[in-house]
Structure 1
Amino acid sequence: MLELSQNNIDDFKQFINSHNFFFIVGHKEPDGDCITSCLGIAAILDHFGKPYQLLSAGPFKRNEVIRWQEKFSAEMTFQDEAERKATGLIIADCSEIIRLGDIDGDLKGFDTFIIDHHKTSEIGGDIKGVINPDAPACAFLVQLFYEALIGSVPTDLAKILFFGICTDTGFFRFLTENSAPVFAAVSRLVADGADPRTTYREINSGKPYSTRKLLGILLGRAEKYLDGRLVVTYETLEDTKKWGLEGRDSDSLYQLMLSAKGVEAVVFLRQDTLTTCTGGFRSQDKIDVSAVAAKFGGGGHKNASGMSCNGRVETLIPQIVKEFARVM
């Protein structure tokens, strides 16, 4: 269901009214959806006159989110025990504390509310929130909360939330035939002042030249597996040292690979340190890459997931291919 229940709305309002201060945080290596969702939640708290701090472990690798970096901190404001008890933690675009990354301070033990849309997320214990895997973006859920609690979205926020929805939907190319409520919601944002043409340019322009060179290397290194249905490529420590981390553009890599005839899924691995890797998985229609990501401590959506784990590229590739063979 692409909507919030009245219970969802009432629970969030009660959560806001029950605390004097809030920490708002999203996952490490934030993308556009994560950052704009946090900003949307902040706007809701502003309306209710509630103070807060925006947290992010970073790093802000994506060119399109760097402009908001100064609004976030990786260091929590100090609180004594009484202040902590009156503070609420709102987590956007993920549901696991471990995925928040290295925040200077203790995020555990707070009364917590989660707003997320990842298939592999879940709420446990006494934690409150909304996790809706049918939602195309966390920013979409934040928009619905804002409209239900406050009303029409102001122009500046409409532009921000529209940006977040566009980043996670690939500018709507990932949406299905059941997405009419999403288009209805974004049409309200456009009516409120969001500009599709400007947003597309903000997302897709201004990439560093180095990312174009790195993209060529990754394309040249790609190999086919499972009768050509799976394509795997990887980035080495040397690649990262030479071309840097600025302006990551793995989305273009996935799009180019998945456009090749017969390719149903793509894996991109990056060797982060001598002993750790991160990976991104993308697929067409029926292939559930979240099931594979979960095997390596990750998760996400059916057609877009990620992971971080110990290991080296050369040993992880055969393991990942073996897991894909089970779902393809």
Structure 2
Amino acid sequence: MKGMNDSLEKIREIISAHQNIVLCGHINPDGDAIGANLALAASLKKAGKNVQVLLRPYAPKYEVIPNGNLVVQKEDVTRAELFIALDCGDVGRFDWIEDVFKGAQCTMNIDHHASNSFFGEYNYVEENASSTCEIVYNLLKEFFPIDEEIASALYAGLIYDTGGFRHSSTTTDTMQAAGELMSYGIPFTKIYNALFDSRSFSEMKIMGRAFDKSELCLDGKVIFTSITMVDMEECKGTNKELDAIINYIKGVNDVKIACFLYEKNEMDVKASFRGNDGYDVCALAQKFGGGGHVKAAGCTIVAPLATAKEMVFAEIEKML
């Protein structure tokens, strides 16, 4: 049973009523999670609030998003009057700070994932929004401060989660928001290049390894590849450099479902899925306790890589 969705007016009212606010994003934060957190934090700080952001370490390319100095270590967090989770489908997405969440006087959940579990005392989940940054922009617009840096962070999340306005989650509202954010004089070319066209040498090597290992399966309907800890070591890279792989392999002609698995350790495998129209990869991820969107989802599987692959393919065969 899904919880109640509050109105944007109610969300603004609750935020306005609190002074000490802690924000967080999901583990392995991406452009949308980082952008939403740093934009909202900077805006609330300008509005006179005490704000702290909890985010796990992220890839250097995301340093193009301003106000990274608002991120604090968990041990430095003062007790939250209001805890706001951004871009998190459920509590498991920020389990490293669950005690901070539970210790807060009031909790809020702002997100755009269809699989969201409505875990907050107050919830605003808009699954038709392109990104959590689009939601945050609508939340702030005309009510809270927006400057060039805040607009830059929101724009970064907007383009990240829409793949540069390519994904079907992009709407006329998304494009209007992007246009309005550009009016703040943001360095939009620099942001786009940092997120999509720049990579370290090790990331390029890892991508090459993943492409080399890729295979077409199930009559060419499925493309699969994986990266092991050994691959990572040989390419001198880290698992922060893997998020572009899935979007590249999904572009192969006639593929319906793309799967990318990587080893976090010997018994912990992270899986990312992308699906074409008519292929619900969120349902696939949910079989393994994950979630996301109909066309883009992920999960963690507690098994060796070879076993995880077998488990995923058994479910995909049922889907097909």
Q: TM-score, normalised by structure 1?
A: 0.88
Structure 1 residues 78 and 24: alpha-carbon distance in aligned structure 2, compared to 1, 3 A threshold: closer
Structure 1 position 173 matched with structure 2 position 166: yes
Are the counterparts in 2 of residues 297 and 307 from structure 1 also a CA contact under 8 Å? yes
The count of aligned residue pairs is: 313
Which sits farther off after the overlay, 178-187 or 262-271? 178-187
Q: Distance in 2 between matches of 1:26 and 1:97?
A: 11
Are the counterparts in 2 of residues 112 and 127 from structure 1 also a CA contact under 8 Å? yes
Letter in 2 for 1:162: Y
Are the counterparts in 1 of residues 101 and 107 from structure 2 also a CA contact under 8 Å? no
* 1:241 alignment counterpart: 233
Q: Aligned with 2:151: secondary structure?
A: helix
Structure 1 residues 239 and 154: alpha-carbon distance in aligned structure 2, compared to 1, 3 A threshold: same
* 1:75 alignment counterpart: 74
Cα distance, 1:101 vs. partner? 4.2
* 1:118 alignment counterpart: 113
Letter in 1 for 2:307: T
Cα distance, 1:112 vs. partner? 0.6
Which of the numbers 102, 106, 126 marks the counterpart of 1:108? 102
Q: Aligned with 2:57: secondary structure?
A: coil
Cα distance, 1:71 vs. partner? 3.3
* 1:256 alignment counterpart: 248
Are the counterparts in 2 of residues 117 and 132 from structure 1 also a CA contact under 8 Å? yes
Q: TM-score, normalised by structure 2?
A: 0.90
Structure 1 position 49 matched with structure 2 position 48: yes
Cα distance, 1:69 vs. partner? 5.0
Structure 1 residues 130 and 64: alpha-carbon distance in aligned structure 2, compared to 1, 3 A threshold: same
Unaligned runs of 5+ in 1: none
Cα distance, 1:137 vs. partner? 0.5
Q: Distance in 1 between matches of 2:179 and 2:68?
A: 28
Q: Distance in 1 between matches of 2:38 and 2:143?
A: 16
* 1:206 alignment counterpart: 198
Structure 1 residues 312 and 62: alpha-carbon distance in aligned structure 2, compared to 1, 3 A threshold: farther
Which of the numbers 61, 67, 84 marks the counterpart of 1:63? 61
Q: CA RMSD in A?
A: 2.3
Cα distance, 1:18 vs. partner? 3.0
The 5-angstrom pairing of residues 288-327 of structure 1 reads 288-327=280-319
Letter in 2 for 1:38: N
Are the counterparts in 2 of residues 24 and 89 from structure 1 also a CA contact under 8 Å? yes
* 2:180 alignment counterpart: 188
Cα distance, 1:105 vs. partner? 5.3
Letter in 2 for 1:112: T
| Sequence identity percentage | 24
Unaligned runs of 5+ in 2: none
Q: Distance in 2 between matches of 1:276 and 1:309?
A: 6
Structure 1 residues 71 and 313: alpha-carbon distance in aligned structure 2, compared to 1, 3 A threshold: same
Structure 1 position 267 matched with structure 2 position 259: yes
Structure 1 position 91 matched with structure 2 position 85: yes
Cα distance, 1:28 vs. partner? 0.9
Letter in 1 for 2:114: K
* 1:14 alignment counterpart: 13
Q: Distance in 2 between matches of 1:199 and 1:138?
A: 17
Cα distance, 1:326 vs. partner? 2.8
Q: Distance in 2 between matches of 1:224 and 1:214?
A: 19
Structure 1 residues 94 and 292: alpha-carbon distance in aligned structure 2, compared to 1, 3 A threshold: same
Cα distance, 1:59 vs. partner? 3.1
Q: Aligned with 2:270: secondary structure?
A: strand
Q: Aligned with 2:42: secondary structure?
A: helix
Cα distance, 1:319 vs. partner? 1.2
Query: 1:14-46: CA deviations, max 9, x gaps?
Result: 212332311100001111110110012113322
Q: Distance in 2 between matches of 1:222 and 1:206?
A: 23
